[in-house]
Amino acid sequence: MKYINNIFTIENCSINKVVEKFETPIFCYSQKKIKENISNFKKNFKSFSPIICFSTKSNSNLEILKEIKRNGLGADVVSKGELMIALKAGISSKKIVFSGVGKTRSELIYAIEKNILLINCESKSEILEIERIAKLKKKKVDIGIRLNPNTDAKTLKQISTGKKENKFGINEKTFIEVSRYIKESKFLNLKCLSVHIGSQILDHKPYQKMINVLDKLIKKMDFSFEYIDLGGGMGIDYKKDNKKFDFKKYNQIIKKFLVNHKSKIIFEPGRSIIGNTAILVSKILYIKENSKKDFIILDAAMNDFMRPALYGAKHKIIPLKKINKITNKTYDFVGPICETTDKFLSTTKFQKLNEKDYIIICDVGAYGTSLSSNYNIRPKPAEILIKGSRINVIKKRQKLKDLI
Ligand SMILES: *Cc1c(COP(=O)(O)O)cnc(C)c1O
């Protein structure tokens, strides 16, 4: 993804061509980038060849999931809907893990019927519910327990999941208690210890702390887990300041851990696989000049891409067509929705913009379309997958008549 003759281009496809052919806002993915990310992820951990379960909640577009499957990944799902779409994409049930604090009885029944790799449980009550279903079905069900390791992921507080005040996982004391119970059960197989401490983690140190907690706990329990599921959370370079997650260090930390623990590692990456593979192209509807700043009013809004409004996340904005005219005016890039938080970014240095220009919001592949909504009865945008110079529509723009 780069500028060629000052026009933003994905693979061999200029985005100029895209906006001539399609309406905006529109999500554009690069197939090559998806393949590259997966191949790099695998390379980083190739000494212990982990099972990689793509986090379906980060992007649940069926065609994207098919692409993920073709590259050999499994899936991490958090609802029956996600489990269904992962199966529909052709992902083997033996490569699917199911996480989440509130799986319903019908979701658990479905997962048990499909014989998925693991259900990662997050409470004592859930474990008992699974046991009751397994008993009825006369099955022994493979489960994991998600530990809350009380580790600070040093990320945005809204996407931190591994501290004791967060709703996720089971604390150490209860973990030991329920493990004993499961080992005695005729209907449950304790196969996995799982953790997931948060998202957009750029520092390897929280992972080191998390691994230390696991190491101690497993030694204390004197039990060998077939699988250790380390979750996802590896961050990406949204700011483009080269602060990248150090995969080499994380790999070393895990290799050291594996010297004492003969388990298969599972990962559940979302963002690190799909985050930087897509852009959102939007047209400037109006420019409203103000004394202190100009409001750049886009045709994209928080319903299309929610991360800035939901978490205060900052995504780089760049022009579709580069010109050599820089302004020091403050630009506020905002959407048309009736909410003050419907704002993508504030900039103090940008090229001079005009109405009807196009801009690009970067790195929207993860938690982009999967978080989108129909707020203000706005149809969800189209999504295209670029493969070389070919354009495949992988989601049609919703029609108003389907919403009304
Ligand atoms: C969201 C989530 C992930 C994926 O996190 P990323 O930061 O996108 O890698 C993995 N595991 C669980 C349990 C999750 O909830």
Per-domain residue ranges for the chain? 2-29+275-403, 31-274
Q: Give, for ligand 1, the residue of 196, 266, 371 to mutate: max count of ligand atoms closer than 8 Å to Cβ.
A: 196
pLDDT of residue 159: 85
pLDDT (0 to 100) of residue 251: 98
- How far apart (Å, rounded) are the C-alpha atoms in residues 108 and 112? 6
pLDDT at 371: 98
Q: What is the mean pLDDT of the chain?
A: 97
Residue 356 is encoded by which pair of tokens?
């009807």
pLDDT at 154 over 90: no
pLDDT digits (tens, 9 = 90+) for 123-137: 999 999 999 999 999
Looking at residue 153, its pLDDT comes to: 87
Average pLDDT over residues 156-178: 92
Quote the pTM value: 0.97
Query: In this structure, are residues 273 and 29 in contact, taking their beta carbons and an 8 Å threshold?
Result: no
Ligand 1 atom at minimum distance from 268 CA: 10
Residue with tokens 């040093």: 154
Contact, 194 vs 229, CB < 8 A?
yes
The model's pLDDT over 231-245, given as tens digits with 9 standing for 90+, comes to: 999 999 999 888 899
Max alpha carbon distance in the chain (Å)?
72
| Predicted confidence band of residue 113 (pLDDT cuts 50, 70, 90) | very high
b/e burial code for range 5-19 (CB count within 10 A of at least 16 → b): eeebbbeebbbeebb
pLDDT in tens, 55-101: 999 999 999 999 999 999 999 999 999 999 999 999 999 999 999 99
Q: 173-178: long-range contacts (C-beta < 8 A, 24 or more apart)?
A: 174/124, 175/145, 175/147, 175/217, 176/217, 176/220, 176/221, 177/124, 178/124, 178/127, 178/145
Residue 209, pLDDT > 90, answer yes
Amino acid at 32: K
If residue 278 lies in a helix (H) or strand (E), which one and from where to where?
Answer: strand 278-289
pLDDT, one tens digit per residue, over 333-391 is 999 999 999 999 999 999 999 999 999 999 999 999 999 999 999 999 999 999 999 99
Note the pLDDT of residue 22.
98
Q: For residues 38-47, give the mean pLDDT.
A: 97
Q: What is the mean pLDDT of residues 108-131?
A: 98
Pocket of ligand 1 (CB under 6 A): 55, 57-58, 76, 99, 196, 199, 231-234, 268-272, 366
**Whole-angstrom distance, CA of residue 177 vs CA of residue 282:** 53
Residues 246, 206: contact at Cβ < 8 Å?
no
246-261 average pLDDT score: 97
Q: Is 28 a catalytic residue?
A: no
Pocket-testing residue among 37, 38, 58, 148, ligand 1, by greatest number of atoms within 8 A of Cβ: 58
Fold classification of 2-29+275-403 is Lyase, Ornithine Decarboxylase; Chain A, domain 1 (2.40.37)
Q: How far apart are the first and last CA of the chain?
A: 37
Binned at pLDDT 50, 70 and 90, residue 291 comes out as: confident
Atom of ligand 1 nearest to the CA of 367: 8
Q: Catalytic: which of 13, 192, 338, 362?
A: 338
Distance from Cα 138 to the centre of ligand 1, integer Å: 32
pLDDT, residue 392, reads 98
pLDDT of residue 3: 98
Residue 117: both structure tokens together = 């790799």
pLDDT for 248 equals 97
Residue 155 has pLDDT above 90, yes or no: no
Asked if residues 265 and 254 have their Cβ atoms less than 8 Å apart, the reply is yes
| 2-29+275-403 against 31-274: fold identical | no
Q: Identify the band that residue 156 occupies on the pLDDT scale cut at 50, 70 and 90.
A: confident
Fold of 31-274: TIM Barrel (3.20.20)
